[in-house]
Chain A
Amino acid sequence: MLSFRQFVVGAAAAVIMGGGAYLASEGADTGPPDPVLPLADQPYVVTDDLSAYRRAMMSGGPPPDGIPAIDNPEFLEAADANLDPNDKVIGYYHNGEARAYPQNIMVYHEIVNDRVGGKNVAVTYCPLTATSQGFKRGETTLGVSGQLLNSNLVLFDRETESYFSQINATGLQGTHEGETLDEVNLYWTTWERWRNAHPDTKVLSENTGHVRNYNNDPYGSYNPIGGYYQSNNVMFPLMHESNRHHNKEMVVGARTSDASVYFLLEDLESERVQHTGDFVAVYDERLDTGYIYATAEGANVTALDDGTYEVDGQSYAAGELPFDQLVAVEAFHFAWYAFYPDSDTV
């Protein structure tokens, strides 16, 4: 039996020890908290001043979130998807999970705030520039601002209301001004190609929580190609223009912290390997896309007949060359040029 004095002393000791343990545990957790919005360690090169971008930014009509992002996406099995083999999809693969985001849904929403393979990502698509780009989103969600820069989607972080240009992934205004989103590789391909590459893929459902006529693309058609996607017209003003190629010619581009590069997809398809400066691009027949690597000038890459590539006597798949792989973005030529007029190219 404890005396009253023993009880008081014991209780006091327990409080002191417990408090000490609590303080010790607080002090031990000294690491930085996870970022709400992950950002790139190395920012991408930008051609123009941020103030010039802000001046060129203009309303595309809708208010912020007037084009509603899909925040609670639902998915179908591949067998249940009502897609034609030649319909365009945006593909993403991470940690054993594959997703297909049909273009006919993305044209109405432009952003899907998803979680794939344990990673929170925002899959973004701009119909006016034909760019599909993925960004790590951490604990926040991204929305469509309703603003355009060079005809391209300006998205915003709903946590800080920072605005980002999609193509150069750069903060235009707000808390993250001048910072670069942490980008992941997406694929702009056809349903048939994506399904062949990833038979177990899940497909974004039309049950988006919003009512849209997903059979009616307001801009035109990709299957077959027509309307805005085929014409040489551009709807909104551009900061830099070039007549070198048809405005809607597809290019595959990439950027580092000090340079950018692009290749015409059609030329890359026929040549399979293209070099320029410190970059090499190879064509992937399987997904009809290109991969871009930063490499030492003169790196020797040879296309083999079986669709793989030889480097230093070893054979590699297009997406697995032993160089520093960059995030590759497919885009209409006019859009890439408007952001990166100084890009290296062949």
Chain B
Amino acid sequence: MRKLATILSYPRFRWITAGVTGLYLILFLIALQEISLGGQGFSFVSVDWTQMFDRTGTVTFEAIAMVTVPGLTIIISPLNILIGLVISVLVGLNLMITYIAYYQPRACSFNRSTGVLASFPALLAGGACCAPAIILILGIQVSSLMMTVFQVLIPVAIALLLLTLKLILDRTDPALLQLNQKQEKATT
């Protein structure tokens, strides 16, 4: 955690993490169809907040409010947003370290291509939320086994993102990063 805090003390890495996290969360919610285009007029609908704990899937939950503005509809499912945020932060951190491995390889004791491997769990996490949409778009027939895999994709993606984050952090030296930043400052 100390290494992570050190890395995130640099504004550049904070911004990369925040940017990827925000973008990924939006994509996650679009994939769940909780953000969609095509709203008409202004409206706000809400129901009993305790429904937020009702499951709609293995790890997806009920919405409790919907905001519509012209051209956009946003459904608010607090637990889905929370799950999306956890995945997005993990994807953001993984991709930020991948970025370090790629552009500042001296700070990481693994080579560039290995660093890129850290982004694979991010893709898997993407599959976790996009699977139903992908099935519909591509017209794939889903077997019982595939359905079982889809149902555990989100927890598996979270576990893998945590694992890769730990592995790449163990091989990253923030002290060398600091040097790199000083170099950056010196050149700018």
Contact = CB atoms under 8 A, between A and B. Distances in A.
Interface stretch (A17-25, A71-79, A225-233, A258-266): A225-233
Contacts of A209: 47
A329 to B, nearest CB: 24
A215 B40 contact: yes
A211 B64 contact: yes
A54 to B, nearest CB: 12
A219 B47 contact: no
Contact of A63 (B55, B136, B142): B55
Decide if the interface of chain A is mainly helix, strand, loop or mixed.
loop
B35 to A, nearest CB: 10
Contacts of A300: none
A58 B147 contact: yes
Given A66-B55, A236-B141, A237-B143, A211 B33 contact: no
- Size bin of chain A's contact surface: 20 to 34
Contacts of A215: 38-40, 73
B11 interface: no
Interface in A175-234: 209-213, 215-216, 218-219, 227-228, 231, 233-234
Q: Which of A59, A61, A68, A212 has its CB near the most chain B CB atoms (within 10 A)?
A: A61
A218 B136 CA distance: 9
B16 to A, nearest CB: 32
Interface string B12-30: 0000000000000000000
A236 B63 contact: no
Contact of A213 (B75, B150, B151): B75
Contacts of A234: 141
Interface residues of B, number: 35
Contacts of A236: 141-142
A237 B147 CA distance: 12
Interface in A233-263: 233-237
A107 to B, nearest CB: 12
A255 B75 CA distance: 42
A235 B57 contact: no
A59 B33 contact: no
Contact of B136 (A211, A228, A237): A228
B51 interface: yes
Interface of B: 33, 36, 38-40, 45-47, 51, 54-58, 62-66, 73, 75-76, 132, 135-136, 139-144, 147-148, 150-151
Which 8 residue pairs are nearest across A and B when measured between Cβ atoms? A233-B139, A211-B63, A58-B144, A66-B56, A211-B66, A216-B36, A213-B73, A59-B147
Given A216-B33, A237-B143, 9 more contacts: A61-B132, A62-B56, A66-B54, A211-B75, A213-B66, A215-B38, A216-B36, A216-B38, A235-B135
